[in-house]
Structures are given as C-alpha cells and as structure tokens.
Amino acid sequence: MLLIHCPYCKEKLPELEFEYAGQAHIARPDNPAEQTDAEWRDYLFIRSNVRGDHAEQWRHSHGCGRYFNALRNTVSDKFIATYEIGQACPTSHAEGEENNEQLES
Amino acid sequence: MSKFSAMTLLKGALTGYKNVEPQWPDAELKSEYDVIIVGAGGHGLGAAYYLAKEHGITNVAVIDKGWLGGGNTGRNTTIIRSNYLYDESARLYDHAVDLWDGLSQDLNYNVMFSQRGVMMLAHNVHDVQSFKRHIHSNRLNGVDNVWLTPEQAKEKCPPLNIAANARYPVMGAAFQQRGGTARHDAVAWGYARAAAARGVDIIQNCPVLSIERGPDGSVTGLQTARGFVKAKKIAVSAAGGTSVVMDTAGVRLPLESYPLQALVSEPVKPIFPQVVMSNSVHAYISQSDKGELVIGSGTDQYVSYSQRGGLPLIEHTLAAICEVFPIFRRMRMLRKWGGVVDVTPDRSPILGKTPVQGLYLNCGWGTGGFKATPGSAHVFAHTIAQDEPHPINAPFTLSRFETGRLIDEAAAAAVAH
C-alpha cells in the first residue's frame, strides 16, 4: 500500500484515505470558444503517461478533503514530493530521477 | 516442425516425451524487414501470423523487450466474451469469438478454448436495466446473450449466493454461452509456433529504444538494444508500454497505464462451472483446468508501470467474492500478480493507422484485451498489409479523440471489461 504525505495535514497516511485524480498541471484553456478540435483533444485526452517521474493530483478524500499535487515515480511507485495546489512542481523530471535515486539508496 | 495429431500424442505418451523439439527458433535479428511488430504478446504474434498466412508477408519480425507472452498475455484472467453494447464493439469482439472457435485447429496447437459461458450478475435495479439493454442490443447484433432469473443463475452456478438478505443480492444475470476461457500462454505459444513456421522471426529480450523517421516523416526503422534495423512498416502492439515507444516517434497518445491485478487460489476439484463477473462489486472469477480459482478485479487508481498493485484492491475484490460465493470463504490464495494495462478515455481500443506513414497502432485495450486477441490480430494484419483498416476496425481510429466520435464503452459498462 502506498503511504502518502498530505501537504495540508502534514502527515503520512495510507493510500486508503486518498483518491487519485489524474495528471497535474493541466490548465483549462483561457478561451474555450477559440480552441480547435486538436487543442481540445490535447487538453481533454492526451496524457504524458511517463515511465518515470509523474506529476499528479491526489485528493485527501477521507481526511481534509483537499486536492494536492504529488511527484511520484511510476516505476518504483515511490513519492518524491507532495505539494500544495498552486505551487510549482518541485523538480524537473530529469532532476527528479536523481532525487529518487537518493531516496532509494 | 512436426504437426501435432492424435498419433504424435500417442507416440509421445509411449516414448515418455523424450524427444520434444523446440517449437520455434530464437531468431537472430536481420538488418531489414518488411514489417516489424513491437510487442510479442498474443496480439503482436497473432498479427504476424495473419500477415504471413493471409497476406503472404513473411519477412516479418516480432520484437519484445522481455520474453514472448510475458506481458499482459500471460497475466490476464483469460476471460472471453463479446457482449458489448455498441455496434462497433460488438462487431470487433464477436469477430474474435468467431476466430477463437476453431483457433486450435487453425494453429495446430491446443489453446484450450472452453465455451463454458460468461455470467454477469445484476445486483441492483440499475444493473438489471443496463444488462437488459445490453442483451437487446447484443441480440440485434447477432451476439448471443440471455437474461437469467436468480434461480436460473443458481442452477447454472451452484456456489452462487442468491439469498434475499445477501450483502450483494442477485437480481438476475446476463449470460453469454459462447463466452468462456482459453489457456492464455498457449495462445502466445500457438501463434508464435505457427508464425515462426511461416518464416516470421521472433526476437526476445531486445528492447526497442526508438522508432526512427526519415526526412519525409515516414518510418525508416527501429533503434534496438541490438542495433538499428530497417523496416518498411512498423506496427506497435506494446500494451502498457505503448506511450513510451510511440513517444519516440513523436506521437502522443490518449493513454494512461494502470496496474491491473489478478490472483489464484490453491487448486481444488471442479466446483465452478462458468465465468462469473460482478461489475458493480468489481470482481470476476472462474476455475482454471488446473483447479485454481482465477480472480480479477478493476485497475488500481494511479498510473504505474510497476507490474504490481496495492493490497487494498485485492482485499476489496476478495471481500466481494466472499459475499457472493460464501462457499469460498476458507479458500487460501496462492499467488497474486499485476500487469500494466493501457487505458483509453472511452475504454475502447485504438486499432489502425497513425499520422506517421508506415506506423500502425494496436493499443488501448485496457483491462480486456485478451478476449479480442484473434480478432484484433486478424484486422490489425489487414490494416498493416493493405495500409487501410478492415471495416471492423475502421471506427477504432486514433482521430476519434479529435472528432469526438468516441465508442464510449466506459459509459456503457462503467467498470471492468
């Protein structure tokens, strides 16, 4: 079971308290009426699906109920960081990998 | 390679199977192929077989980063059915069921296809209405599917708990008799053997590093762990790894890869005659010919390539199984494992051409690709050979996510496929 740190509750808790909520940092288009079909496709459906460090949203549904972001490695399933909505992703993907190795060692 | 028959079986039995020969050679990678298929699962090997058999294209390689049939082909719960709601899906999956019937003879390899029937339990009024709609739709499409009362379901499947006070009351069931199971490994082995016999090279343990494209944008070949290999056409059939491979060709996909877990119990004597699925409580179960109960559920909630999932999901599934089949409460489970399944937003596969000339795609089967293996492989081979989709897979385009012409089995079934 994943152990997930909620950045609002400041506590590491079992996965059962949380709901996964998809890839993070996908901004809704500012002018929906001006979007082409291809842009809508990219926004709605295309996902990075990276094999490596993945920025994603979780919701602490059985705790504080708030959404937050996380950086997690999709091969080891280890969390590299969790951070509040509105904050920037803490590391770039390449740097994240290094961090993850440090975590594992 | 020898042909299997009753005589060879008898001869083998009398001589103790001492002279068993390899069923296909572990081929060396050549420098050039007409078609390279990435992914040596059932879908990829099957496509190679039908390319050779029906389209006369034999300069074909099937290349895999691991061993043949070691991905989702060897990790699924072997359920076969075609009772999908939409016309497009019914045609595609029923094409597969038609080919399953007779596949052992076609391949001269016993895939142990057993049409024991698939029962889908309805636990609430919504299930009843939804399943009846499926049944009517299926019958209009020529797909067999009938409604069973709880008593009829119990008669077919005695371990079922139909008590009125059950935690998950059974209000009826949809039943497809032509559905059932097959031996998953044998499907990969049978296709590999039959394809290799027609000249297809099967290259194992050779990761594909990138898909290379020429100045005009069309594919030129593959960069692999064993060097560059030229190819006129490249067909990607890599399940959970599809996004990673296709990314190297500059094609971004509407896919997410999730862990899907399954588990088996200790083997017991025949107790469970059908496949039973319970969509609203997320559990499905059948008994293998070895006697193990084979149990599966939905995907874990997060994207992952780890080929293992979390225990909470297994616990949830087994809790449901124990309620619906109280007889199994004291069974011990032997093993659990996970596969990585590539899921599309509408839960229907992507099967056809891509924006890149010479690059073909078979992916997005999510949690239900095994059942489609022969049908998918058959129409994928047609698509590769003719550079045009077969009428059956024509609706399953990548462009439907731009046009909005989705085949929304996700909304139709809501859960497990």
Average model confidence (pLDDT) for chain B? 95
User: How would DSSP label each residue in B327-374?
Assistant: GGTTPPEEEEEEEEEEE-TTS--EEEE-SSTTEEEEE-BTT--GGGHH
Nearest CA to B177 out of B287, B294, B102, B81 is that of B81
Percent of all residues in chain B with a pLDDT value above 90, rounded to a whole number? 92
Angle, CA B76 vertex, CA B302 and CA B43 arms, to 5°: 100
- How near does any CA of chain B get to the CA of A23, in Å? 9
pLDDT at B417: 46
- Provide the pLDDT confidence category of residue B412 given band limits of 50, 70 and 90: low
Q: Which of A4, A36, A43, A45 is the best substitution to test chain B (most B C-beta atoms within 10 A)?
A: A45
pLDDT higher than threshold 70 for residue B71: yes
Q: Which of B244, B253, B354, B402 is the best substitution to test chain A (most A C-beta atoms within 10 A)?
A: B402
pLDDT at B413: 63
In the block, which residue shows the tokens 């006697």? Answer: B291
Would you kindly state where each structural domain of chain A is located, as residue ranges?
A: 3-104
Question: How many residues comprise chain A?
Answer: 105
> Is A38 in Cβ contact with B402 (below 8 Å)?
yes
Interatomic CA distance for residues B298 and B285, integer angstroms: 12
Least CB-CB distance to B256: which of A1, A2, A47?
Answer: A47
Q: Which residues of B touch A75 (CB under 8 A)?
A: 304-306
Interatomic CA distance for residues B373 and B41, integer angstroms: 9
pLDDT at A94: 45
Interatomic CA distance for residues B374 and B369, integer angstroms: 10
The secondary structure element, H or E, covering residue B231 is: strand B227-236
Q: Does B237 touch chain A (CB under 8 A)?
A: no
Interatomic CA distance for residues B231 and B63, integer angstroms: 12
Interatomic CA distance for residues B303 and B36, integer angstroms: 28
User: What does DSSP say about strands B180-181 and B79-80: parallel, antiparallel, or unpaired?
Assistant: antiparallel
pLDDT higher than threshold 90 for residue B414: no
pLDDT higher than threshold 90 for residue B159: yes
pLDDT higher than threshold 50 for residue B147: yes
Interatomic CA distance for residues B287 and B36, integer angstroms: 36
pLDDT at A101: 37
Lowest mean pLDDT among A43-47, B22-26, B260-264, B332-336: B22-26
Encode burial over B216-225: b for 16+ CB neighbours within 10 A, e otherwise.
eeebbbbebe
CATH class of A3-104: alpha beta
- Provide the pLDDT confidence category of residue B227 given band limits of 50, 70 and 90: very high
Q: What is the mean pLDDT of residues A38-44?
A: 96
Residue of A nearest to B253 (CA): A46
pLDDT at B287: 97
CB atoms within 10 A of CB B161: 18
Question: How many residues comprise chain B?
Answer: 417
pLDDT higher than threshold 70 for residue B160: yes
- Inter-residue contact B243 to B342 (CB < 8 Å): yes
Instruction: Report the complex ipTM.
Output: 0.91
> Is B312 in Cβ contact with A1 (below 8 Å)?
yes
Q: Does A85 touch chain B (CB under 8 A)?
A: no
Q: Where are the beta strands (DSSP E) in A1-105?
A: 3-6, 11-14, 19-23, 53-59, 67-73, 79-84
> Is A51 in Cβ contact with B241 (below 8 Å)?
yes
> Is A56 in Cβ contact with B302 (below 8 Å)?
yes
Percent of all residues in chain B with a pLDDT value above 70, rounded to a whole number? 98
pTM (two decimals): 0.94
Residue spans of alpha helices (H) in B198-343: 242-247, 311-324
Least CB-CB distance to B303: which of A19, A56, A76?
Answer: A56
Kindly report, residue by residue over B299-341, the tens digit of the pLDDT.
999 999 999 899 999 999 999 999 999 999 999 999 999 999 9
pLDDT higher than threshold 50 for residue B266: yes
Q: Does A47 touch chain B (CB under 8 A)?
A: yes
pLDDT higher than threshold 60 for residue B209: yes
- Inter-residue contact B268 to B325 (CB < 8 Å): no
> Is B253 in Cβ contact with A15 (below 8 Å)?
no
Kindly report, residue by residue over A53-91, the tens digit of the pLDDT.
999 999 999 999 999 999 999 999 999 999 999 999 997
The secondary structure element, H or E, covering residue B285 is: strand B283-287
Least CB-CB distance to A46: which of B253, B304, B404?
Answer: B253
Interatomic CA distance for residues B34 and B292, integer angstroms: 43
Q: Map out the domains of chain B with their CATH numbers.
A: 23-82+84-109+183-254+346-413 (3.50.50.60), 118-180+257-343 (3.30.9.10)
Residue of B nearest to A37 (CA): B402
> Is A45 in Cβ contact with B401 (below 8 Å)?
yes
- How near does any CA of chain B get to the CA of A90, in Å? 20
